[in-house]
Structure 1
Amino acid sequence: LIVDALAANEGRRKFSRDAIGAGPRLVAGVFEKYKLNVRIKRVEDFIEENDEGVNSSDLFLISAMSVDKVAVQKAVKKISKKQQNCKIILGGPILSEKDLTKEIQFDVGVIGEGERIIEGLIRCDFDFSFFQEQESADRFSIEKKNGSLLVKEKSILGTGIFEEFIPSTERILDYPDYWFSKVYVELVRGCSNHYRGELVKTAGGCSGCGECDDPDTIITGDCPEDIPAGCGFCSVSATFGPPRSKKLNQVEKEVEDLLSKGVRRIVLSAPGFLDYFRGRKKEEIYSPTKPEANYAEIANLLQSLSEIRDNQEKVCSISIENVKPSLVTKKIASLISKSLPKTSISIGCETFDTSLSNKIGRPSEPNTALEASRFFFDEGLSTQIYLIHSLPGETVKSLEITKEVVENKLSNFADKITVYRYLSLPGSPFTVTGVPLPTKRHLLDIRRNELKEAIIQFNLEKKKQMIGDEVITIIAEKDKVRKNTFIGYPIFSGPAISIYSEKPIIGNTCKIRVIGVISDKLLEGEISI
C-alpha cells in the first residue's frame, strides 16, 4: 500500500485540496512493471477510516514532505499498532530531515530518486539484506541510523529513467477526488540553476574558483568546497541535479490515459517548464540563462497536448506552472498563449530587492520577473508571483522595497501574489552551509505584517475585479462552513468558488457567475442560467 501524505501537514490537507502529485503514481508504476498489485490511499483516509487498509497489507510505502511529519507519525503509529511484522518504506522530501530517524520509526528511507532502489527491493522480495550486497554498495550510499536504513543513489540517473519506469495511470482511480483535482504529470526533473548566492558562498567557505560567478557561463555543478547549488532556500538542484526531460510520446501517452479515465485537469510538472529539452541532446545544462528555451520542442509539446485536450468529450484543461523568468521572452509568451490560452503561469521572485535577490542565489534580478510577468499578461495569460518573507539576509529595507512594488507596480500585469514564510529545508544550500536567519527585530516583524497585509489587499482587489465573470467550474464538494453551498474548482485557472444551491450539484460542470468575494482565497458564485 502506498500512503500519499504529501501536503497533509498534521494529517489532513488544509490547502491544495484539489491537487494530486506525481510521486505516488510513479512508485506505483514500479510495482506494475513487475505485475504486482498495488494501491494508493491518501493519508487522511488511511488514518481516519477503518483498519482494512492496514490489515490487508504487510508493506507500506509512505510519500511525504518535511511539513508532513506529524501526518507520517500518525500513519506509522497506526501501522505499528495493527501490523507487528510489516515493513515501512519512507520516501520524498521528508527524508532530507537530518534527525528524522529519532522521531519516526521506519525500515528504509529512500532519499532523492527512488525508482531503482524500489526495483531492487522488489527483485529480492523486500529482503533488506539486499543492501549488504556488493552491487548495492556500488550503486547506493547506505547509512544506518537508529535502526533505519537511509539509501540514496550515488549518481544522478539519466534520461533513460523515464523510459525504464512508467508512472501508473490506473492508480489515479484510487484517489476519490481525481475527477476534479489537478493531476500532476512529470515533465522535467532537476533544475538548471546552479548559481550560488553570496550568503551560501560566505557561509560555505567559497575559495573563489569563479565557476558559478556568472549565471550565463556556468558549465558544471561541481564545487571545490561542496557548497550546494541553486536558490538558497531550495534543495532541488542539490538533490536532482541538472534538468532531464521526458520524451513527447511518453508525455502524450500518460496525458491521454489520464484523460480517458476521467481526469479533467492536467498540470505539467517541472521545477522550470522552460528547461524542457533545453540545449543540445545529452548536454547537461547548469546555467539558468544560457542557452535560451527550446522553442521547437516546446511548440511541438504544446500543440500535441492541446490537440489531445480538444479531442475529449468533456471540457478539460492542460496547464503549466513554474517558469524561470530568466528564460521568458515575448516569443515564449506568445507560443504558450496559442496552445494554452487559459493557463496560469507561476513566476518565482521571492523578493523585489535586487540586493537580497543576489544574496539568496536567484538566477535573475527582480526586474526580469516583472518583465516576464508583463510578457505573459500582454498575451492574456494569468500570472501568479511567488514571494518569501523571513529569508536569511532579509532587512527592513528589502521588505519595504517589496511592499512598494506590490502596491504600485504589479496590478497591471499580475493576477495573484502568493507569499510564504521561509522554512529551513534540509538539504538546501542555506541549511547545509548554516546560513543564519535574520536577527529578531520588532521592526522586521512589523514590516513583514505590512507586506502580508498588502498582499491580502492586492488579492482581494483582483478578486473583486472578477465579479460578473463567468467561469466553467467543476462542483467538487460540500462547503464545510456555509449551509446549502458547494465548493467548485475552475476547469482552467482561478480561485475556488462557493456556490449556493438547495439541490445536490456535486459532480456537475457548470458555468458559474462570480457575484462576490468571500476572502482573498475564495469567491462567491451562482449557477449561470
Structure 2
Amino acid sequence: MEPASVFFCSKEVELFSALTHHQSGLILISVMTPDCEQVQPLLVKCKSINPQVKICLGGPHISAEPEFFQGLADWMVIGEAENLIQEIISCAINDFSVMNPVILKSNQRVHLDLYPPSPIKLGKYGFIEITRGCPYGCYFCQTSSLFGTDVRHRSLEAIFEYCREMKKKNLTDIRFITPNALAYDSIDGRSLNLNSLFSLLEGIKKIIGETGRIFFGSFPSEIRPDFITLESIQILKKFSDSKTLVFGGQTGSNRLLKNLHRGHSREQVFSAVDLAIQNGFQVAVDFIFGLPGEKEEDEKETVKSIQKLIKQGAKIHAHSFLPLPGTRLSDAQPTSMSAFLRHFLGKIARDGFLFGQWQTQEKLAQIIKRDY
C-alpha cells in the first residue's frame, strides 16, 4: 500500500487544494467553542469539493456537545483521542463501515509518554505538554471536564528526549503546555514538587545550552498564584527566560473565588505578585469579567484589587466570561458589566495597564448562549 500523504493546513486555501488533488482522504479537526461558527461552513465546503473525504472531529467542544455538528462529520471523538487515531486512520484507508457509531467515546486516560507532544516524524515541533488534568475543577474551565481531575505528567526522560530532537533541528526555544506550570510531577496537582521542577528545568538547560531559552510560567504554561513561594520563584529566576509571569487571579472578590471553586484567595494573588516583582519578573494577572452571580460589591472588590495590583507593578490580562460547554457554568448567564466597571477598564487600558480580548469575548459569550 502506498504511504498516505499528510498535510498540516493552517489556511482554508491549503485544505481546499489538498481536497482537490486527492480522490479521498481524512480530515482531522480539533474544535474549540469559539471556532464553531467558522468550522461549520468549512465542513460543508469540504464535502462539496470532495464528497469522498471523511471528517473526524474532536477537541473540547466536541467532547461536550457533539450534537452541534451532527450530520457534518463522519466521526466525532469524545475525550482524549490519541488511542483512537490509529484505528480511525486505518478505517479511513480501508473500510469506513468498521467505525460505528458516529460518536466515539474514549474513556481511556492517555499515558503521555506513549505519544510524542508533536508529530516529530513528520517534521513538526511545538510546545511540550508536560501535564494533563487538573484537580481544582474551576467551574468556568473545560480542563478538568475534558482531561479529568487526576494529574498525569510526562516523564523527565521523555521530555528530555523531545528536547534533544529539537536541539538537532536547532530549535532551542522551549515552551510548555500545562494547566499549572509549577505543579509538574506533583502527586495530586495541589502541591509543589520542587526537586522535580528543578530537575526538569536544569535538565532542559543542559540540553539546549546557554543560547537556548526556556519559557516557563507564561502562556500556555501559566501559574496558579498559590504555588508561588520563595523556593519556586528562585527556581524560575534561575532557569526561566520568561520576562513576564502570568498568574490566574480571575476576580478580586473572595466570595466569587470560592463560588468558582478556585481554591485560592485574592490575598494569595497579591503575595505572588510581590514575590515575582521582587525577584525581577514582570507580572500579568488574568481577570474574568461578567462572571455569573457577580454583584455590585464584587465589582468594587475587583476594582480595588486591580488598583492594588497595578500599584504593585502588575498588568491586567482581561477576559470576559464564556459559558463553555462541559463546564459547571455552561448554562449560566454572563453578568452585564456596570457602566462604572466599563469606564474603569477603559481608563486603565488607555493608561497601558490592561490588555486582552475581553470586548470580543463579551460578544462571543452572547453567541454561545444563543447557538450552543
Q: Same fold (TM over 0.5)?
A: yes
- Matching residue of 1:306: 205
Equivalent residue for 2:343, pick from 442, 450, 456: 450
Compare CA radii of gyration and give the structure with the larger one: 1
- Matching residue of 1:114: 81
| Structure 1 Cα separation of the partners of residues 267 and 95 of structure 2 | 54
- Count of residues in Structure 1 that have an aligned counterpart in Structure 2: 346
- Matching residue of 2:253: 353
Judge conservation of contact 2:19–2:46 (CA < 8 Å) in 1: no
Q: Kindly state the Cα deviation for residue 338 of structure 1 after the two structures are TM-superposed.
A: 0.4
Letter in 2 for 1:293: L
- Matching residue of 1:237: 144
- Pair 1:70–1:393, CA change in 2 (3 A): same
| Structure 1 Cα separation of the partners of residues 59 and 354 of structure 2 | 35
- Pair 1:272–1:36, CA change in 2 (3 A): farther
- Pair 1:261–1:94, CA change in 2 (3 A): farther
Letter in 1 for 2:163: V
- Matching residue of 1:130: 98
* 1:249 corresponds to 2:157: yes
| Structure 1 Cα separation of the partners of residues 273 and 200 of structure 2 | 22
Deviations 1:176-228 (A, max 9, x none): xx8xxxx42111111121xxxxxxxxxxxxxxxxxxxxxxxxxxxxxxxxxxx
TM-score by length of 2: 0.83
| Structure 1 Cα separation of the partners of residues 353 and 290 of structure 2 | 25
- Matching residue of 1:207: none
- Matching residue of 1:51: 17
Q: Kindly state the Cα deviation for residue 301 of structure 1 after the two structures are TM-superposed.
A: 0.4
Equivalent residue for 1:329, pick from 209, 212, 229: 229
Match of 1:302, SS?
helix
Q: Kindly state the Cα deviation for residue 264 of structure 1 after the two structures are TM-superposed.
A: 5.4
- How is 1:61-80 mapped onto 2 (pairs within 5 angstroms)? 61-80=28-47
Equivalent residue for 1:374, pick from 248, 271, 274: 274
Equivalent residue for 2:107, pick from 154, 159, 164: 154
Judge conservation of contact 1:387–1:420 (CA < 8 Å) in 2: yes
TM-score by length of 1: 0.60
- Pair 1:44–1:344, CA change in 2 (3 A): farther
Q: Kindly state the Cα deviation for residue 59 of structure 1 after the two structures are TM-superposed.
A: 1.1
* 1:383 corresponds to 2:291: no
Match of 2:135, SS?
coil
Letter in 2 for 1:150: I
- Percent of matched pairs sharing the same residue: 23
Letter in 1 for 2:152: R
- Matching residue of 1:410: 310
Deviations 1:254-311 (A, max 9, x none): 23323443545331110111221112xxxxx2xx64xx30011000000111223325
| Structure 1 Cα separation of the partners of residues 85 and 262 of structure 2 | 34
- Matching residue of 2:359: none
- How is 1:482-493 mapped onto 2 (pairs within 5 angstroms)? none
| Structure 1 Cα separation of the partners of residues 140 and 45 of structure 2 | 33
- Could you say which structure has the higher strand fraction? 1
Judge conservation of contact 1:89–1:109 (CA < 8 Å) in 2: yes
Which structure 1 segments of 5+ residues have no match? Answer: 1-34, 133-143, 194-229, 280-284, 464-494, 496-529
- Matching residue of 1:319: 216
Letter in 2 for 1:373: V
Letter in 2 for 1:353: S
Deviations 1:440-485 (A, max 9, x none): 5xxx431341342144145x1599xxxxxxxxxxxxxxxxxxxxxx
- Could you say which structure has the higher helix fraction? 2
- Pair 1:454–1:352, CA change in 2 (3 A): farther
Judge conservation of contact 2:82–2:115 (CA < 8 Å) in 1: yes
- Pair 1:130–1:371, CA change in 2 (3 A): farther
| Structure 1 Cα separation of the partners of residues 266 and 143 of structure 2 | 21
